[in-house]
Amino acid sequence: MAETKHTHWVVGLGATGLSVVRYLCGLGITPGVCDSRMSPPGAAKLAEEFPQVELICGHFPAQRLAQAQQLIVSPGIAVASEAIATAAASGVEIVGDIELFARAVKAQDAKVIGITGSNGKSTVTSLLGEVLSKAGIAAEIGGNIGTPALNLLSAHAQVYVLELSSFQLETTTSLDCTAATILNVTEDHLDRYPDYAAYLAAKRRLYQQTRCIVANQDDPQTWGDGAIEELRFSVQQESDWYLQHGHMMAAGESIGKVDELQLIGRHNYANALAVLALAQSVGVSIQDALKTIKQYPGLAHRCQTVAIEEGIRYVNDSKATNVGATVAALDGLTDYPGNIYLIAGGDAKQADLTPLAKAFQGVKQVLAFGKDAELLVRLSENCQRVEDLDAAMAQAKLSAHSGDLILLSPACASLDMYPNFMARGDHFCQLVRGANG
């Protein structure tokens, strides 16, 4: 039987790949789909919803891909991989789902806000979505968090709020954001990029696709080049939006106290300031935005207070899958009055762990587990290796007293021991509940 020559191939299934298939079929295009995994997530759903779509599992059909017009590559697949690179060299257009979204949304009278950064982007994306919705704006929130971008497309949407990863930005050129932010940049994904400069360059592609930049005054890597309008936020110095003596400031005036927020930590105060700036870019008043921000409890697995039992606060920050996230969490808690017991470890993804050494100085004890636990132990005398998360929690619970904080902020990926960071965080929460009856 002769092979079908597909003009479009979706490379990588999962939720993103399925959203691309759905979008293309809606345009009357039947793509081919391939995935290097033998049983990719979404395969059953694809067969049920689109039985006419060919799915190849276990490898990428390089020769067939090179004969296509366009490859839509899922963000989990490196565009430098051999089959993709060969197709690109043959003149095949390489895009991702965000690029298809960007082209589609141009036909709508809707605004787009783009959010990226090594850490905090999910919190900012979800919080901004809450702010816009409470302000009466029809907002669609997704991208790298929650709903894939193509599934968000709606004739009724007024604003799209997109969380964007560096992987997604690699294959995106056509976004036209009303405002965009790079919240911060710290070392991450060096198992995917040749060096840190390449990772930073991928993030900074967003600034070529926006009308206004919201940058972090405290991280020069996030600054624009002066070519377009730029607003800045800071938790260290005066800026357009900044902190001063426990107050959130805008244009030199206090707009509220940080102790009125449910969010904890200076990194979360920075996130709140970024949301205020982004919300104002689409017409939301400071007062309306701040009202919602004050009520926001935070996202699960992101500096989430799970419980306060016998005076001990348990915080789940399992989403801290890189060094920068854990440093930010600990920096944000420098004013915490009690002792901090940190649980960390997992797969460090070849990252430089040395910035943690200074951060560990403000911690009573570090309990390290997982694949790269030994690398963490070498950083500090107050770091002890334990077998697993159960053992870490048992030790922390034994040592902590009323007024102290037990923090899961691993600084590492979870895949050495868990399916994902959510499973790791859920395990922590179960242990908290178990420890407290």
Which residue has 């920075």 as its token pair? 270
189 is catalytic: yes
DSSP classification of residue 57: E
121 is catalytic: yes
The closest alpha carbon to 81, from 68, 67, 62, belongs to: 62
339 labelled binding-site residue: no
122 labelled binding-site residue: yes
144 is catalytic: yes
414 labelled binding-site residue: no
Instruction: Go through 282-302 and write b for each residue having 16 or more CB atoms within 10 A of its CB, e for each that does not.
Output: bebebebbbebbeebebbebb
Give, for 64, the enclosing helix (H) or strand (E). Answer: helix 62-65
Task: Please give the Cα distance from 278 to 120 (Å, whole number).
Answer: 14
The active-site residue, picked from 6, 111, 121, 397, is: 121
Report CA dihedral (147, 229, 135, 257) to the nearest 10 degrees. Answer: 100
409 labelled binding-site residue: no
171 labelled binding-site residue: no
Task: Please give the Cα distance from 126 to 423 (Å, whole number).
Answer: 20
Task: Please give the Cα distance from 413 to 170 (Å, whole number).
Answer: 22
The active-site residue, picked from 6, 8, 111, 144, is: 144
Q: Are strands 111-116 and 139-143 parallel, antiparallel or unpaired?
A: unpaired
13 burial (CB, 10 Å; 0-12 / 13-18 / 19+) is buried
119 labelled binding-site residue: yes
184 labelled binding-site residue: no
Task: Please give the Cα distance from 353 to 348 (Å, whole number).
Answer: 8
The active-site residue, picked from 6, 111, 189, 349, is: 189
Task: Please give the Cα distance from 92 to 107 (Å, whole number).
Answer: 25
Residue stretches of the annotated binding site for ATP: 117-123
Q: Which residues are annotated as a binding site?
A: 117-123
Q: Which residues are catalytic?
A: 121, 144, 189
